[in-house]
């Protein structure tokens, strides 16, 4: 691992790189993600890889408008999603970080029972996004 792959200063780990960007995951989400069954992990990682390669994802795979996070930069919360039957979401935001387009995953919802997002989890994800965005600096 090179220094450019070390994101410990913002408490994140590199999940993958692609031609169009990279995906980082907050350390607070990694254990929960690793506890998912392998099918859900694979589906979310395949969608993250598509995003990182610059492929336009469908509405069933990615929601780019989960709401504004607030904070100094007021980033948009986004979600990578599994199929409708499994209903797991990874929440994060997109920004340029270290000169590269980056999707930073800050929270997840593994117990989603309906198509509509859980407002309590959205609020928590938005707060986590603002906190991580501030640690990233300008």
pLDDT in tens, 73-89: 999 999 999 877 668 99
For the chain, percent of residues with pLDDT exceeding 90: 83
**Residue 27 corresponds to which tokens in the numbers above?**
């350390």
Q: Look over the chain and give the mean of its residue pLDDT values, rounded to a whole number.
A: 92
| Residues 83 and 58: beta-carbon distance below 8 Å | no
Q: Which residues contact 87 (CB under 8 A, 6 or more apart)?
A: 81, 112, 113, 114, 115
Distance in angstroms (rounded) separating the CA atoms of residues 97 and 107: 19
Residues 6+ apart with CB under 8 A from 59: none
pTM: 0.93
């Amino acid at each position: 691992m090179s220094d450019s792959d070390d994101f410990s200063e913002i408490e994140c780990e590199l999940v993958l790189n692609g031609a169009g960007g990279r995906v980082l995951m907050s350390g607070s989400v990694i254990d929960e993600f690793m506890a998912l069954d392998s099918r859900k992990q694979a589906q979310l990682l395949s969608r993250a890889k598509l995003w990182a390669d610059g492929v336009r994802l469908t509405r069933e795979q990615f929601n780019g408008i989960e709401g504004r996070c607030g904070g100094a930069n007021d980033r948009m919360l986004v979600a990578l999603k599994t199929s409708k039957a499994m209903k797991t979401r990874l929440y994060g935001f997109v920004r340029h970080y270290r000169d590269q387009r980056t999707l930073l995953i800050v929270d997840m919802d593994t117990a989603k029972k309906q198509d509509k997002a859980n407002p309590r989890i959205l609020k928590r994800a938005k707060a986590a996004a603002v906190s991580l965005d501030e640690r990233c600096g300008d």
